Structure formats: C-alpha cells, structure tokens
A and B are shown apart, each in its own frame.
Chain A
C-alpha cells in the first residue's frame, strides 16, 4: 500500500474533489492508504509518507513552512492543478500593492497576514511531477495513480489544445465561429472541452511552457482582437491561469 498525503494551500478545492473521485476507484483504493487529507479524514497530523498531492498556491508564511515540512517528509511530491503550478486566479491580486488590495476587501487590513506575492509550489520546494488544469482532469489522476502503483509514471505529452481538437474531429472554433481561442498556446489535457461546447479555450490548463514565446502569444492575440474581443480580457485570462509563466514572458524572461 502506498501511503498518500493530500494537502491544500490557497485554492478552491476543485482539484481535491477530482482526487476524491479518483480515489473512489476500487483498484486505486486497494493500492493506496490515505494518511492525511483533512477534508475527508479526521486526522490532523502529517506523518512520513511516500506520495503527496499539493493543491493551491503559496500565499502565506505559514503555508510556506507547512509545504517545506511536507516536502521533508515525503518521497514523491505532485503539484496538483493550475494554482500549484502557476499561482492560480488569485495571482491577479498582485497587480496591486498588497496593502492597497487588503484595504479594498477588508475593514481591518492589519489582521490579514499574506505574502505580497503569490507563489507556485515549485518556487518553494522541489516538485517531482506536475498535473495541470483548473481543475485537473480526474481521469488523468486515475491514470497517474494506476501507473504509480505499478512503479511507473504517465508519459508527459507536450501538446496544445489544438491537437486535441484535431484528434477528436472538432471543427476549429476560430475558423468556423470566429471565437477567440487560446487553444494554440494552451496545454492539452482537458480533451478540448471548451471547443466541444462551441466556445474558445480560455487557457485554464496553462500556457504550454515547452515552446511558447512572447512573440507567439502576441501574434495570436493580434489575430484574436480582429474578432472584436476585448484584448484586456485575453491578457487577464492569460495571467489568471498562467501567472508564473505569462508574467515572466511579459518581462522578457524565459
């Protein structure tokens, strides 16, 4: 039995719910022993564990220390979802000074102890495996857990959402509907969900880091704004779901 620890940082619990779904499969239940998962298990102490899943981004000092503690007690750490990998939608708050942001939302901002930045899990500790998505695809988790139990790992596939549309024979929504679509620069893994629902991809699996450059993104945005779509909306979703990468690209990094 593989001992598993599941922990949540700053996030919405959507990825955890997908993990719960994965853990309901009888063959997976038979191979894994969940030792810490406060949402579904009445155990509040972490113990030495083989495998850890971390949902969410790091936005407090406490989370940073907790995460380092978890890392020191697990052998294999999996970052789960967009918040853990990129920072998540909450990253949009770093556009403002944290003291100003606090004042807008809270009457007593002095009681709010959060970091000025929103950090991905891999910027704090070593990550052994990453599963993207907002939320992650539960079937991808099932696949991961089955392969890990057998001593292997899923093969990383570096593709965009466009590849998934092609394989599924989904007509291109940019061509047929003039729908603004971030599929050409977004990680695959969702099964081309938005195009299946006749809308453009809004990039919730994050920018495909492998070969996407600032020039390629700008070229895509130049075309999409021809569809009378608000450019600020496009840039906001790129930041929301790919904060770590897109903000670096904007600064000229990567």
Chain B
C-alpha cells in the first residue's frame, strides 16, 4: 500500500509492505526525480561549483555553497581572512534560523497540533501566526542583507564573500532583533508545551560534526556517539552504502548494518552544554533537556533557532564593516591535494561533499552525501519497529507519516536517493 507523504519538503510516499493485513515493513519511497548533480559537476572548474550546488536545495543552499567553498579552500591552499570567514558563518547561521523556522512553523506545528495546515492552526490562534511570521520575516531580512536573497544566495565564493553590508543595513537588523526574541519566546510557550504523542526511545548511533569548542557547525571531523573520525575515513570506510532486499534506495549504514541518526536532535544531545545559557534557561522552564528523542526534534530546532539568533545578535552588535575590495585574495591557488572534502551541519544534519580534481583543475569525481539520505535507513527502521506485526489502520499510516515528519526530510536534496520498488511478499 502506498500513501502520499505530505508536510515534508519534496515528493515522496510511505510504502507499507503488508503480509495478510499485518505490517511487515515500512519504506519511504522517494518520487522526487533525481537531478544528477554528481554528474553535472564533472568537468567544471571549482569556482562554478559553489553556485551550482546551492541549487540542490532551495532551503539550505548556503550549506551547500559554504561547504563547497570550504572544501576547495582546504585542498587548494587558500586562506580566508578570519573576519570574512566569521561573516560566512553568520550567514550560515541565518540559514539555520530560516530553515528551522519554516519547518517548525509550517511542517512540525500542524503535525504536532493535529491540524491539516498552518493556516488552520492560525485560524485558531492568530497570535501564533503573527509571531511565526515575525520570525520568518526577520530571517528573510537577514538572508537578504547578508546573502542577497532568501534562497540561492549570491554572496559565497571560494576565498570568502563578494561583499559585506554597510553598517546602516546591519544597524537596521540589530534594531529589530529584540522584538524577534519576544516573538520567539512567545512561540516557545506554545511549541515547548507540546509533548509528542509517540513515546519511543530510539537507541541508534548518532552522528554530527565534531566541534572542539562551540556548537556543532562545520569542520573536517565527525563524531559518531563518542568516536571521532576524519571525514574522509568515515564516509569511505565506516558509513557504507548498501541496498536492502525490498528497497532500492541508497542508504548509509555503519559498517553496512546499523542505521544512524543525523540532525538537530543529535547536535542538541551532544553539545547541549554549549548552547547559550538563555537557551538552556528557557528549555528548563518547560522541563526539556537531553537526550531528546527523534520525535522531539522541534525542541532541538527551536533551541537552535534561539541559540543562532543570540550569536547573530552578538555579531550585529559588534559588526565592523569589511571592505572586501581591500582584502586581496592574495594567496594564489597552491594545491595541497586533489581531494577536496569537508562537512557542514546543514539544518537537517551532516552534509558531506567530496570532489576529486584532475590535472587541469576541473572536477573529475564528486560525491555528495545529504542528511536526508543518511536518515533514510533509520527512518525506515524506526517506522518498521513501531508498526511491524500490527494490523494496518489509519493510525499505523499516521505513525509512519509522523516518523518521516519528525526527521524533517528534505527530499528536494535527493541528489542520489533512489525511487523504491515495492515488492509484494504475498499471502502466506
């Protein structure tokens, strides 16, 4: 049986494999057409890749562009001015706010309040919609001032950025941010009061970008539970791509067997202590603390939104205009390796890119591992664990859909997820 999947970004279906009316297994069929970015990038010069890969995802394009820039800077030996690097980090945090706000308000909230859409919820409580739109509008302003536009920003390049905003624009953003905290904390009153209907402890390995200090953001190492790996080693030797008997979806499993989780819940559980104290105080008010389960992702997203906005406020308050024209990209390309790889915590979890450059400096090989692709295996495992052996019902379908929404899959970035073939296992 197939049920279209709504309230997720992109196109997909829940596929329930049944045996005599009882659930045998659950799959998530990705009907989103593949876009072949790993082919498209071949033969291209690195400077072209940054803008191209931002088109993989309309919601988290900065993560793709930022990651590609970082990967090429590392392997080409390009040092980025520290103030410019910080500016890019802030732009990336602005995207985290945007993406979390869109998903918590538009996708999670209807699901956790059992309404069919955000509009229906808004009719019941107009104050929620007012506050949610305040936060969303502010994230839009942030993205436009720092990156040029809400999606597919134009201000990330290898070596830094093209331009930084004038103090006047930044002052405008700074003057509005305290009202946004007011809206956000009022929303928190609604969101953090919810408790998920599914009470289920998931005991699966958790993966995020390793942070020596600060909150998980970007780097060259990942941490799986408590083991730290170099990124390349993890994605080449530990996380194996496999295909299951009933599924043709590319999945990533530790050593080819165990599924693992990426995303805001993982970052929150590992680096909770490093959140701003204001964020922890707010969470304590509603009795939230780690570990969160995957069904409590909206708590992690709200916490990260608040935390990112606090970091952004500190940046805006201390902003010094950087005249990019005076910062020469004085360091010439000095290739240190022909393998360019890096990891960034995209809003939905660890995003990994690996590019191999040929002798002429063009990309000859590309591998992009998205958060959603990494979560597919664990989504299926959890949905199956929750429903296996139970009689098919509306509740079972709703549970399977809830698992998907809890993981906040962004199917648009399905650069190499495969459509699933449904195999009937017949009567017994």
Contact partner, A18, options B11, B47, B151, Cβ 8 Å? B151
Of residues 277 to 330 in B, which have CB atoms within 8 Å of A's CB atoms? 324-325
Q: Are B34 and A112 in contact (CB under 8 A)?
A: yes
Q: Which residues of A contact B33 (CB under 8 A)?
A: 9-10, 59-60, 63, 114
Q: How far is the CA of A38 from the CA of B31 in the complex (A)?
A: 13
- B151 near A135: Cβ-Cβ < 8 Å: yes
Q: Which of A96-155 contact B (CB under 8 A)?
A: 96, 101-102, 104-108, 111-114, 134-135, 137-138
Contact of B47 (CB < 8 Å), options: A44, A63, A108, A233: A233
Q: Is A222 an interface residue (CB 8 A)?
A: no
Closest B residue, CB atoms, query A200: B162
Q: How far is the CB of A243 from chain B (nearest CB, A)?
A: 12
Residue B196 at the chain A interface, CB threshold 8 Å: no
Question: Known contacts A89-B40, A108-B243; is A14 also within 8 Å of B11 by CB?
Answer: no
Question: CB distance A13 to B59 under 8 Å?
Answer: yes
Cβ of A108 and Cβ of B45 under 8 Å apart?
Answer: no
Q: State in angstroms the CA–CA spacing of A16 and B33 once bound together.
A: 16
Quick check: A40 and B248 within 8 Å, CB to CB?
Answer: no
Chain B proximity of A166: nearest CB distance (Å)? 19
Q: Are A13 and B9 in contact (CB under 8 A)?
A: yes
Return chain A residues, CB-CB under 8 Å to B48.
233, 236-237
Q: Report yes or no: A135 in contact with B58, Cβ–Cβ below 8 A.
A: yes
Does A34 count as interface, using CB distance less than 8 angstroms?
A: yes
Note all chain A residues with C-beta closer than 8 A to B36. 90, 93, 101-102, 104-105
Selected A-B contacts with CB under 8 Å, 7 pairs: A38-B5, A40-B7, A60-B33, A112-B419, A114-B34, A232-B45, A237-B51
- Docked Cα-Cα span, A41 to B110, in Å, equals 9
Interface status of A17 (Cβ within 8 A of chain B):
yes
Asked if B371 lies at the interface with its beta carbon under 8 angstroms from chain A, I say no
Q: Does any Cβ of A come within 8 Å of B383's Cβ?
A: no
Q: Which residue of B lies closest to A81 (CB)?
A: B58
B6 touches A11 (CB 8 A): no
A13-B57 contact, Cβ under 8 Å, with A20-B102, A105-B36: yes
Known: A12-B56, A135-B58. A17 touches B102 (CB 8 A): yes
A202 to B155, CA, bound (A): 12
What residues on B are CB-neighbors of A29 within 8 Å?
Answer: 119
Query: How many angstroms from the CA of A112 to the CA of B417 in the assembled complex?
Result: 10
Counting CB contacts under 8 A, is A2 at the interface? no
- Measured in the bound complex, the distance between the Cα atoms of B8 and A232 in whole Å is 37
A-to-B contact residues, CB < 8 Å: 8-18, 20-21, 24, 29, 34, 38-44, 59-60, 62-63, 88-90, 92-93, 96, 101-102, 104-108, 111-114, 134-135, 137-138, 190, 193-194, 196-199, 202, 204, 230, 232-233, 236-237, 240
Contacts of B137 in A (CB 8 A): 24
The reply to whether A199 and B9 form a contact with Cβ atoms under 8 Å apart is no
Interface residues on chain B, size class: 35 or more
B219 at the interface (CB under 8 A from A): no
Give the residue among A9, A29, A92, A236 with the most B Cβ atoms within 10 A. Answer: A92
Q: Within the complex, which residue of A11, A134, A236 is in contact with B412, where a contact is CB–CB below 8 Å?
A: A11
Q: What B residues does A9 contact at CB under 8 A?
A: 33
Name which of A42, A113, A199, A230 has the most chain B CB atoms within 10 A of its CB.
A42
Are B140 and A89 closer than 8 Å at their CB atoms?
Answer: no
| A41 near B412: Cβ-Cβ < 8 Å | no
B167 within 8 A of partner (CB): no
Instruction: Give Cα distance in the complex from A237 to B419, angstroms.
Output: 29
B324: A residues at CB distance < 8 A: 198
Cα of A198 to Cα of B163 in the assembled complex, Å: 6
Given A89-B40, A89-B52, A106-B418, A13 and B6 contact (CB-CB distance below 8 Å):
no
Q: Which of B8, B10, B250, B324 has the most CB of A within 10 A?
A: B10
Please provide the 7 A-B residue pairs with the shortest distance between their CB atoms, ordered closest to farther. A14-B58, A44-B4, A14-B151, A12-B58, A90-B35, A13-B58, A93-B36
Give CA–CA (A190, B148) in the complex, Å.
10
Interface centre among A17, A108, A196 (most CB of B within 10 A): A17
B100 within 8 A of A: no
A107 to B416 alpha-carbon distance, docked (Å): 10
**Chain B nearest CB, measured from A8 CB (Å):** 6
B204 within 8 A of A: no
CB of B241 within 8 Å of the partner chain: yes
Q: What residues of A have a CB within 8 angstroms of the CB of B34 in the complex?
A: 105-106, 112, 114
B209-268 interface (Cβ within 8 A of A): 241, 243, 248, 250
B274 within 8 A of A: no
The listed residue with most A CB atoms (<10 A of its CB), out of B9, B32, B36, B150, is: B36
Partner of B248, one of A59, A108, A232: A108
Expressed in whole angstroms, the minimum distance between the Cβ of A188 and any Cβ of chain B is 15
Are B59 and A40 interface neighbours, CB within 8 A?
A: no
Q: How far is the CA of A112 from the CA of B419 in the complex (A)?
A: 7
Q: A106-B250, A137-B149 are in contact. List 5 more A-B contacts (CB 8 A).
A: A12-B55, A39-B107, A42-B7, A90-B36, A112-B34
